Amino acid sequence: MNPKYRKTVIAGNWKMNLLPSGLKDYAGELKLRLPKDRACEVVLCVPAIMAAPLLRLLRGSRVSLGVQDVSAEASGAYTGEISAAQLRDAGVKYVIVGHSERRAYHGETDELIGRKLQRVLASGMTPILCVGETLPQRDAGAETEVVRTQLKLALAGLDAAAMRKTVVAYEPVWAIGTGRTASPAQAQEMCREIRAAIREKFDARTARAVTVQYGGSMNPSNAAELLAQPDVDGGLIGGASLDPVKFCQIVEAAKL
Ligand code: 13P
């Protein structure tokens, strides 16, 4: 628990990077450098094929395993898909849903994302729901409306108890992989807005309890300032999580 009375979650998103043959070295370095105190939750969302081997390599460490997508269906004839039950059975604890790259390249709609969210929750795992506006949307001054609509549609079927088990990640699309980070003030402003939307839909207690992360070019040099914002409860880290040294430095920054 941080002073904000909610969990700080530092999660890496490897996307489609790294190889199974590199896991041993990554895990070794990570175990060596990871701060021992448990001031925050540490998660690695990896390509599904690497989840089980990495889990074995990290056994006994404080790291939880996550993946980056899940099927909206329970089981059956869905070639190429992976179900929430299969992930859970393999030891996965976190699942990213609605990442902007899946929205953009795989046509994922808010409705589909909502169904995936429910699958993850029903299987007892923690969803990390990604929301965020594009640059043209921000330039048009529509960022708040865009994020509020994404939340409203994806969270439609949830009750307050399920909401409290959900992590929300604010990832402005223009800050992802661009090296252009949202300013701490911009990150704070939208994370506060997300919490306000949760309070309006559910209640104040739920809004206080939900972890809201920032994601988009977070790195060891900007992490401390972003994570110090009152409504920013962690980070979803792409590029910098591919390097265990940098990832551990961000975990370290979460303590400050
Ligand atoms: P980068 O940290 O590489 O900008 O990626 C952010 C992201 O999309 C995490 O999900």
| Domain range summary for the chain, segments of one domain joined by + | 9-253
Phi then psi for residue 237, to 5 deg, are -115, 120
Query: What global pTM score does this model have?
Result: 0.97
pLDDT tens sequence across 149-202: 999 999 999 999 999 999 999 999 999 988 888 999 999 999 999 999 999 999
> Of ligand 1's atoms, which has the minimum distance to the CA of residue 101?
8
Integer-rounded Cα Rg, in Å, for the chain is 17
Residue tagged active-site, from 101, 108, 143, 171 = 171
Residue 213's SS3 state is strand
- Residue 214's pLDDT is what? 97
Q: Give the rounded percent of residues in the chain with a pLDDT score beyond 90.
A: 93
Q: Give the rounded percent of residues in the chain with a pLDDT score beyond 70.
A: 98
- Residue 1's pLDDT is what? 43
Looking at the chain, list the stretches that DSSP marks H as alpha helix, in order from N- to C-terminal side: 23-33, 48-57, 84-89, 100-105, 110-122, 135-139, 143-154, 160-164, 184-201, 204-209, 223-227, 244-253
Residue tagged active-site, from 99, 101, 143, 193 = 99
User: Atom 9 of ligand 1 has which residue's CA nearest to it?
Assistant: 238
CA of 226 from ligand 1 middle (Å) equals 14
Residue 32 CB burial class (10 angstroms; 0-12, 13-18, ≥19): exposed
> Of ligand 1's atoms, which has the minimum distance to the CA of residue 178?
4
| Cβ–ligand 1 contact at 154 (below 6 Å) | no
pLDDT tens sequence across 34-60: 998 888 999 999 999 999 999 999 999
Asked if 171 is an active-site residue, the reply is yes
Structure tokens at 82: 């992976």
Q: Which CATH number fits domain 9-253: 3.40.50.2300, 3.40.50.1100, 3.40.50.1220, 3.20.20.70?
A: 3.20.20.70
